Chain A
């Protein structure tokens, strides 16, 4: 076996794995399993990125997804009825539309692979990729990088302001009582 063959086999395994686990996400009753299948799917995508030469991006994707998917599992279990699938159920709503949307967006993205003119010369020094990323970040893309910081700050404050039920100035629902649906309750409150 040559290096190229090993790489091809691994790439195929990761690709297949990501598709299969991605499909399982919608085919399980348990929110925990759904979240962790998605995590497996993302990890496989990370593996594909590594084989394509983007070692840093691939590994960072895997690293990040652990935390993100745990948060997703926690939130899904929190708000979905029957989170463990003790009652069997069907995860997908409007699945004809979903299948159509999925297939068409896959085709659209896959077509990029054929339509875009990629550079002929492969990246000669993949091990310098991280360094180049850093230089780019601090050089030409400095403004983008700092803007990202401000955006993240806005997201953080927004998330806290919306989600938190209490703050320095008292409970969040104070003065913004939700009107009762039943007229009698409304009169009472």
Chain B
């Protein structure tokens, strides 16, 4: 008993393992939680104690969210940060969620308080959303108790077994269908990939429709940092602001990509750099980070040749921003803007078309954007109606992610899962941006 009290006392002071689930417009704010010493964001429900959901979460994510919650071990709790109007029905699924309105600081202190309460016995552990006990029973019928038809028949313990299919090396072994996402840690938020595995190789895959398109009517929350690109569709905005936002967005991508490649500490450094972009130390900081990433060549070695577009694939990359430029296409909406031309803007181009080239491309573009931001002064962009977002050509109605998604099957099929993840990471697919762009188009159609 004394030991137990000692342990719970110690446990209450632990950094809180939180599972962040980002709704519309909250992606970056939740990522910033990594910097907080009091919290320790984790990837999977099994490692988490507090589920932190933020903003408006698409309704079709209700069931996955429920499964994430139920997958967390006891004691556990739910904290919902700034829930949108549409979050109501989802919120009501949970027994006793804590709702926080306000800044990130308030969120952090609320999460810590909830966690402490779990351990001091004041807060009950959150009940499973779907009640019921036990597991699917399994009674065999054959002479040795096997299932309905043959050795692989039946639904033992509630699920069928995988079936065989021919494969490229001539063997007929099992293929496992699995829909990965929408909260798979290294995927862009909301991406669901209907994949079929043979061993660790993806033999078929199909991305499902973008869930952010039909998110709650009227809720057009745009995350800070992305809003300037959407404003640029309607009015001239300062180039300095655009370029700083671009550099920032690339660094945020870098933070995620580094984490996916096993370098979370360097990822944190990238995240910290986003706070100091306005200052003079930004460029040296970025250069130091690039050196830390590139000096060992290991990252280049493990991304070279991965997710490469072939010659035919490259031609379909128009409007895909850094992905297109890394494949050798000088494709950049900024070239059509006289203000940029006056600044002497020239797009950076690589020619390898693989994940390594995309890494290099974004690192180079961060530095380029910072330089542009400095030399632009108070100049404003001149073209409206289209803008080069950090991911490519953005207009009302179309965004880079909607151009990249159809390319995924051709790119991923036949890849080992690690390479598939490295490829998806290197493409920087932002479903939120695409969803907003499409919503914007339909809103405009509604008003005219």
| Direct interface between A and B, CB < 8 A | yes
Instruction: Contact check, A87 vs B154: say whether CB atoms are below 8 A apart.
Output: yes
A87 lies within 8 A of B157 (CB):
no
For this complex, 7 residue pairs linking A to B, each with C-beta atoms less than 8 Å apart, are A79-B173, A82-B161, A87-B145, A87-B147, A87-B153, A88-B140, A89-B146
Complex Cα distance, B170 from A141, in Å, reads: 43
Q: A81-B151, A81-B152, A82-B151 are in contact. Are A87 and B170 (CB under 8 A)?
A: no
In the complex, whether B225 has a CB less than 8 A from a CB of chain A is no
Minimum CB–CB distance for B376 against chain A, Å: 54
A79, A89, A172 — which one has the most chain B CB atoms within 10 A of its CB?
A: A89
Binding site for B on A (CB under 8 A): 78-79, 81-82, 86-90, 165-166, 172-173
Residue of B nearest to A166 (CB): B169
Task: Provide the residues of chain B in CB contact with A78, threshold 8 Å.
Answer: 173
A166 to B154, CA, bound (A): 36
Kindly report which residue of chain A lies nearest to residue B144, judged by CB atoms.
A90
B152 engages A82 (CB within 8 Å):
yes
Interface residues of B in 130-154 (CB under 8 A from A): 140, 144-147, 150-154
Q: Which residue of B lies closest to A83 (CB)?
A: B174
Q: In the complex, which residues of chain A have a beta carbon less than 8 angstroms from the beta carbon of B144?
A: 88-90
Taking CB atoms and an 8 Å cut-off, the chain B residues in 410-433 that contact chain A are: none
The docked-state distance in angstroms from the alpha carbon of A87 to that of B142 is: 10
Q: Which residues of B sit under 8 angstroms from A89, Cβ to Cβ?
A: 144, 146, 151
Contact A87/B169 with A81-B152, A82-B151, A82-B152 known, Cβ cut-off 8 Å: no
- Contact pick for B140, options A79, A81, A87, A172, CB 8 Å: A87
Please give 14 more A-B residue pairs, beta carbons under 8 A apart, in addition to A81-B151, A87-B161: A81-B150, A86-B156, A86-B161, A87-B140, A87-B146, A87-B147, A87-B151, A87-B153, A88-B140, A88-B144, A88-B145, A88-B146, A89-B146, A165-B169
Which chain A residues lie closer than 8 Å to B150 at the CB level? 81
| Complex-state Cα separation, A166 to B161, whole angstroms | 30
Q: Which residue of A lies closest to B173 (CB)?
A: A78
Residue of B nearest to A90 (CB): B144
Residues of A with C-beta under 8 A to B170: 165, 172-173
Q: Which of B161-212 contact A (CB under 8 A)?
A: 161, 168-170, 173
Give B154's nearest chain A residue, CB to CB.
A87
Q: How far is the CA of A145 from the CA of B38 in the complex (A)?
A: 63
Q: List, in ascending order, chain A residues with CB within 8 A of B151's CB.
A: 81-82, 87, 89
Across-interface contacts of A82 in B (CB, < 8 A): 151-152, 161
Closest-CB distance, A38 to chain B (whole angstroms): 21
Query: Which of these, A87, A88, A90, A173, contacts B152 with CB under 8 Å?
Result: A87
